[in-house]
Amino acid sequence: MIPDDFRQLLARRIAGVEHPREKIMDVVFMIQDKFGYLSDELLEDAAGLLKMTPLEVEEIATFYEFIYRRPVGGHVIHVCDGVVCWMSGHASILDHLRGRLGIDFGETTPDGRFTLLPTCCIGYCDRSPAMMIDRKVYGKLTPERIDEILEKLGLDTEGDSDDTGSL
């Protein structure tokens, strides 16, 4: 259930709009920013606010890459698998991330901190290989740079030195 004060915040976002459903992305993103993902319950609440049926919201929620219908970790890592990143070392970047986090695509670390997902070309081909974490882009990735980024986000990188990176 959406708490009352947050519901008012969402309602304000929609207020005065002729067609409330136009604001579905804003509403879903606000919900995800607060709750992490769009649960069935939240989806139904959102549908009520947007004057849509839950099915209509589901049609849209399952259509997009950055709408999560299942629980995700505190930080969602999307690794770009566009053709330019593919050419510039996507595979080794991915191996390094998998090794560091101990998870594969679609999985979340046991501590609930990180989820690993792919994404199509994110438009940072001039800084490939690239990835996106919490809608922030990181480019020119190397195993070292990935370690720095993960460390800043709270991954304990001390001790596990099984580095797959051979750049």
Partner 1 sequence: MTQVLFKNRHPDRIATLEEYRAGGGYEALTAVLSEYPRAKVQQLALDAVLLGRGGAGFPAGKKWMTVAESAPFPRYMVCNADEMEPGTFKDRVLIHTDPHQIIEGMIIVGYSVMAERGIIFIRASYENAARILEREIERARAAGFLGPNILGSGFSMEISVHRSAGRYICGENTAQINAIQGKRATPIQPPPYATEKGIWNLPTVTHNVETLACVPHIIQNGPEWFRNLAAHPDAAGTKLYCVSGRVQHPGCFELPMGTRLSDIIDIHAGGMTPGCTFKTCLPGGASTRFLPKSLYDIEMDFDSMKKAGHRLGTGSVIVFDEKTCLVGATLNMMEFFARESCGWCTPCREGLPYMRDILARIEAGDGKPADIPLLRQMSRYVWNAYCALAPGAASPVESLLTYFEDEVQAHIRQHRCPFS
Q: Which residues bind partner 1 (CB under 8 A)?
A: 19-26, 28-29, 50, 52, 59-60, 63-67, 81-84, 86-88, 119-128, 132, 135-137
User: Smallest gap, in angstroms, from Cβ of residue 2 to partner 1?
Assistant: 19
Q: Which amino acid is at 145?
A: R
3-class secondary-structure state, position 151: helix
User: Smallest gap, in angstroms, from Cβ of residue 12 to partner 1?
Assistant: 15
Decide whether 127 or 145 has the Cβ nearer to partner 1. Answer: 127
Pairwise CA distance, residues 130 & 125, whole Å: 8
Decide whether 22 or 148 has the Cβ nearer to partner 1. Answer: 22
Dihedral, 131, 133, 139, 143 alpha carbons, nearest 10: -80
Query: Is the backbone of residue 159 left (phi > 0), alpha (psi -120 to 50) or beta?
Result: left
Decide whether 104 or 111 has the Cβ nearer to partner 1. Answer: 104
User: Smallest gap, in angstroms, from Cβ of residue 22 to partner 1?
Assistant: 5
User: Smallest gap, in angstroms, from Cβ of residue 106 to partner 1?
Assistant: 14
How many helices (H) and strands (E) in the chain?
A: 7, 4
Decide whether 5 or 63 has the Cβ nearer to partner 1. Answer: 63
Cβ proximity of 14 and 49 under 8 Å: yes
